[in-house]
Structure 1
Amino acid sequence: MSDQAPSMRVPDSERDRVAQLLQEHFAQGRLDHEEFTERLAATYKARTEGELARVTQDLPERDLAELRGADQRSEETAVPPLTWRDPAIVIPWALWGGVNVLCLVIWLILVLTTDHSYPWFLWVMFPWGILMGLVTAGVLWGQRRGEEPDPGRG
């Protein structure tokens, strides 16, 4: 509210915002019923920014409990570091292994039933495996150094 001049007119949406703020302070016990109704009436009578600011001047903008809760939520949502057993690493490697076993089985069937003996499955196995190895090593090494993984890379 301090970014506007005190004599600036306020819209209904600003009055509604201050009324909700007063309701929160009343629910948290900072205001008794009489004081709440007086301030609420003054809120809806306010025409300028200065009049509206006087209604909440002795109340905190943000609740300290809310700030503590936000800190706890940020700690809870922190991403744990990846390990070799983490599904983000195990699943891609399992897919790589499954696809390559399938390619190997198809190649073996072709070798046993026809005269094709060229190991074409290696063209699937090695490039993909090298790329997977580099990405996995980069992610794990980056975390060991304390860097955040970059979802835009790799």
Structure 2
Amino acid sequence: MPEPHLRAADADRVAVAAQLGEQMSAGRLTVAEYDERLARAYAARTYGELETLTADLPRPAPQPAPAPFGAVHGVPACGWSGGPSRAAAWRNWAVTAVIVLAVWVATVIGSGELQYPWPVWVIGPWGAVLLAQTIGRGRRDDDRRRLT
């Protein structure tokens, strides 16, 4: 914590309250001790007052920073890394297309009359974007081959 004489913010009080809750859940504090320390945490004005509430408790382990979206399994956050992720994108599109077309066909059969083909608004734009990305990716690969 920063210097003990500096004033604490609401976020600091909430962080200490969360730590006290974790310590009570772990069995290090009784409910009465937790209630008393929690009241003091929300009344605390300085970092020093907050520090005394957790001084006799083990420090929580630092939490690792969350991985950026798409960084799992080496897939970049934007674009494709090639191969499997492109195939997976097309596979997801195809499965969705089959499902929405099956729903549409079932409603046509159930009603006995031809209905508006709404599945085109689900699978059409998505397929167009995938196609554009696939074609664009192929061109970038060709340009890289020519440069090397």
So what's the TM-score if we normalise by structure 2?
0.43
Instruction: State TM-score, norm by structure 1.
Output: 0.41
* Structure number with larger C-alpha Rg: 1
